[in-house]
Structure 1
Amino acid sequence: MWHRAHIVILFVFGLSIGVVCSANQPSAALELTIEGEPVQGGLLIARTTPGAVVHLDERPLKLDAEGRFVFGFGRDAATEALLIVQHMDQQIDYPLSVRQRDYQVQRIDGLPSKMVSPDQKALERIRRENRQIAQVRAGYTESDAFRAGFILPAEGPISGVYGSQRILNGEPRRPHFGLDIAAPTGTAVIAPAAGTVALAEPDLYFTGGTLMIDHGRGITSVFSHLSALTVSEGDFVAQGEKIGEIGATGRATGPHLDWRVNWFEVRLDPALLLND
């Protein structure tokens, strides 16, 4: 039987949550620390008693030997979530209020019809490429490369933001999940955080020249529309190291970088990860 713990909470958005629990049992107190704000598109870093079992709602989370774990919320995450931590005869049920956001609507006209509505042959290629990308996103390593934070991967004006709804040639499409940086073809793209190159493809249907970096703990970056790739799969890259060059390959209306970040299949907002 799980014993509910008495919880004392100190919570400051953007800093940390310190939770110390003491059940009416002689066992050591169950501890939980969370850094970050529960917000649509946000990533949180947490730590609990080693050996604990943790769920976000009904989803089991992966912990390392020291009890560290991460989790995130997608664009349309619900207003409430429940973090459940269990260890021996103790349990924390920690409710999270997820801040909701408003998103922009963007209209793009004049795209070639085959790029807006791909034919059957193109759809087969797209599905194949999507499976390839999904396989990378499903991976998990215990690297802490992401802990040093993120920097912008290119210099230039922000031309597209996370969560915005795009209407292509009058047809509503899926929301945009990246941060777009407009710059001339050939502009250097650098690694926003350290990690291992998990995918390097020069010509995918939608994203053209495409790189993916595994930052650890299920966190991956994808860089799209590149005109050149300067690293290869398996390479370890340091934060700030050049990995490619901006282009307009794939489905793009002009040269820019589309940078996206995932926690497994959950799409995060890159802007929320940037160091101050």
Structure 2
Amino acid sequence: MTGIRAGSAVALMLVAVTGACVPNVQPPASPPPAQSPVTPPAPPPVPARAASAPSLSGQMIQGGLITGQAAPGTAALSLDGRTVAVAPDGRFVFGFDRDATPSATLTVTGTDGSRMTVPLTVAPRAWDISRLSSLPKVPVPQPEFAARRPAELARIVAARALTTDAAGWRQRFSWPVTGRISTLFGSQRIYANGEAGSYHSGIDIARPTGTLVTAPADGVVILAADAPFTLEGNLLMIDHGMGLNSAFLHLSRIDVAVGDRVRQGQPIGLVGATGRATGPHLHWSLQWQGAKLDPLLAAGPMR
């Protein structure tokens, strides 16, 4: 009896222990029901707007630089058929050539497809004309010039065709160097038999060789001559964005390279007399889409 009782006790203990080791397995929980993605409501459509005149700032004059603010709903702008780029905030810039006609037309296209024309009156200027009736126009020396000039012009044209995201066009231009203005923008000589020389496409500032030249506005370098050009000498060109660019001629040294981003007031080179120059000076020219502008109107009086 004693053995039977002991074996029963052992069996009962085994049952108890085995039961304690069996996990309490619960059936897996059902995944939550899939929810349909919530599609945000579409923004209300922007109503189309009719064309409206922009606000303009600057001198409506030959060689003048104009900045403006497009009216809300403006889809496109053009000046006498040339596209005027408009920034996302509606700002834009354009200019009038030295020989601009007395009238121009700004065409505005609205987001509804409508168009309106804004007539602009361009004031003429009295240019500094020197009449040298007894002096024949001296031809440019042909052999070397004829051989080198086409490639130089091609580089200049290619540089001006580049498009950058520079925003210097938004700034008030500063003078790259200050000093005596030796030749005004637009001045011209008339030689014997009424033969006209090319008008002066920039402004000349006489300063000694080695005088520091700074960027007149933010921009991207689009040309930095590795050797002097026949006429321009050491030529540097900076794009200010929206089709507006500067050129600096006759430098004795260039301190920036193509692709560099420059800030207004940053040193970019030194005054010199390279190329065709009668003495050390900086020739600064400014263009918008090929229209030659007066830097004096862009930078204002020297201080």
Q: TM-score range by the shorter chain?
A: 0.7 to 0.9
Amino acid at match of 1:223: F
Distance 1:181 1:82, change over 3 A: same
Amino acid at match of 2:156: I
Deviation at 1:27, TM superposition (A): 4.9
Distance 1:121 1:147, change over 3 A: same
Given the alignment of the two structures, is residue 240 of structure 1 paired with residue 261 of structure 2, yes or no?
Answer: no
Deviation at 1:128, TM superposition (A): 1.4
Structure number with bigger Rg: 2
Q: How many residues align?
A: 246
Deviates more, 1:191-200 or 1:85-94: 85-94
Query: TM-score when scaled to structure 1?
Result: 0.81
User: Whole-Å Cα distance in 2 between the matches of residues 62 and 204 of structure 1?
Assistant: 32
User: Whole-Å Cα distance in 2 between the matches of residues 169 and 192 of structure 1?
Assistant: 38
Give 1:38's aligned residue: 60
Deviates more, 1:250-259 or 1:119-128: 119-128
User: Whole-Å Cα distance in 2 between the matches of residues 269 and 135 of structure 1?
Assistant: 22
Unaligned runs of 5+ in 2: 1-46
Amino acid at match of 1:145: G
Q: What are the Cα deviations for residues 98-148 of structure 1, in whole angstroms up to 9, with x where unaligned?
A: 01001012479xxxx9x8423144223112111211122223334322212
Amino acid at match of 1:79: P
Q: 2:176 aligns with which of 153, 156, 159?
A: 153
Distance 1:42 1:116, change over 3 A: same
| Bigger helix fraction | 2
Give 2:167's aligned residue: 144
Distance 1:169 1:192, change over 3 A: farther
Percent identical residues:
42
User: Whole-Å Cα distance in 1 between the matches of residues 90 and 240 of structure 2?
Assistant: 18
Q: 2:280 aligns with which of 255, 260, 266?
A: 255
User: Whole-Å Cα distance in 1 between the matches of residues 98 and 108 of structure 2?
Assistant: 25
Give 1:68's aligned residue: 91
Query: TM-score when scaled to structure 2?
Result: 0.74
Unaligned runs of 5+ in 1: 1-25
Does the 8 Å contact 1:137/1:263 carry over to 2? Answer: no
Distance 1:265 1:199, change over 3 A: same
Does the 8 Å contact 1:248/1:255 carry over to 2? Answer: yes
Give 2:202's aligned residue: 178
Given the alignment of the two structures, is residue 270 of structure 1 paired with residue 295 of structure 2, yes or no?
Answer: yes
Deviates more, 1:42-51 or 1:237-246: 42-51
Distance 1:81 1:176, change over 3 A: same
